[in-house]
Structures are given as C-alpha cells and as structure tokens.
Structure 1
Amino acid sequence: MARFVQIIEFQTARIEEIEALGRPSRTEGSTAPTFRRILATADRDRPGTYLTIVEFDSYDSAMENSNRPETSDFAARFAALCDGPPVFRNLDVMWEDTGDSTINP
C-alpha cells in the first residue's frame, strides 16, 4: 500500500493553545495513534496561517486513526480554536526523495 499524507491548513490567533492541545493527544487513549510523524508549520507569508502535515503508512491507517474517539475529541476542540474551518488535503504518496540518492515509490 502507498503511504498517505494529510495536510491540514488553518488560521488561528490561538496557536499556543492549539500546540498545547496537540501534545497530549499523541499519548492518551486506549489505542496507539497510527500516524508515522507530524510536522507542524507556520506560513511565513501569511501570519496566523498554519499547516500540519501528518504522515501515515497508508490511507487505511489514516482512517483507523480518524476513527479513534481521542481523534474525534481533538478535532472538535481544535476547530473551536481556529478562526475559520480548517482545510484538509488528503494525498497518496507517489514517490519521495530522501536526499540520500534513494527514491522510494
């Protein structure tokens, strides 16, 4: 199965609260999250705009993570801290270049 990436773009004036909200969600709950890694970024050209990049082993793994009660709770609290609705991009990884001359399909 191809790896899967979800990008969440959002605007907020409450980024510190969102950062604090995200930290415990990785370790709490009855099942372990299925993501491979999370990268939180701030848009230099648009202050108050942020993108979170979440990498999963597969689309199925992402859906398993989405179905966790902890994820649903986090999503509701996260949305309440945003200045508008977040935008979700769901991406299948076609290939990657890790910089070590290896290209992974």
Structure 2
Amino acid sequence: MRFIQIIEYRTSRIDEFNALLDAWVEKNAGNRLASRAVQTRDRDGENVYLNIVEFPSYEVAMQNSDRPETAEFAAQVAALCDGPPTFRNLDLLDERTFQD
C-alpha cells in the first residue's frame, strides 16, 4: 500500500530551506526512496509550509527515516525552522485523477 507523509513546518528562511533541500536531492540522486514530493505554502498561515512526500509503502518510508542522510538533513532543516515540524502519516486508500 502506498504511503504519504505530510510534514508541516514554519520558517521565515524558506530560501535557505529550499537551497538545503535542493542540495539533499542532488546528493541523493539514484538513492532516493520517495517516489514523489510536493512542497506547498499555506495561504492562511504566515511562513507555514507543507511537504507532501509519497513512498511505495510505509516500510520504505521507515527505511528512509532510518537512513543517516535523512537524520542529517532533518537536523539541518530543524535549524532553519521556527519550531518543530508536525508529521501526518497516511496510508493511501484511493486515488483519482480528473482531466475535465
């Protein structure tokens, strides 16, 4: 079953956050376990962002969480955030794509 993790965070340093994210993506090319990621900004909350990351399964997501590279990245990101992130861990039950 596919698995989605939503990470909500607050930062006034989004450009630095994105530079760090870009570097991490490049560094892990060919070794990523996530299958898709989307970054969003909350229109109703100042400096509130959500990353939506999809994995093939919960087990693969946990393998990703256990990687030293992920722990290092999380520590660097935490230094740029205005508080701890909030995580939502979701099993993907249904998916629909609309073209009309």
Shorter-normalised TM-score: what interval? over 0.9
The amino acid that maps onto 2:94 is W
More strand by share: 1
Q: Would you identify which runs of 4 or more consecutive aligned residues in structure 1 move more than 6 Å?
A: none
Q: Name the structure 2 match of 1:5.
A: 4
Q: Name the structure 1 match of 2:76.
A: 77
The amino acid that maps onto 2:87 is F
Q: Tell me, yes or no, if structure 1 residue 55 matches structure 2 residue 54.
A: yes
Normalised to the residue count of structure 1, the TM-score between the two structures is 0.88
* Structure 1 unmatched runs, 5+: none
- Native 8 Å contact 1:35 1:62 kept in 2: yes
Q: Name the structure 1 match of 2:95.
A: 96
Shift of 1:54: 0.3
Deviates more, 1:82-91 or 1:30-39: 30-39
Partner SS state of residue 20, structure 2: helix
Normalised to the residue count of structure 2, the TM-score between the two structures is 0.92
Q: Which has the higher contact order (CA 8 A, sep 6+)?
A: 2
Q: Please give the alpha-carbon distance, in whole angstroms, between the structure 2 residues aligned to 1:54 and 1:100.
A: 23
Shift of 1:27: 3.1
Size of the alignment, in residue pairs? 100
Question: Cα RMSD over matched residues?
Answer: 1.7
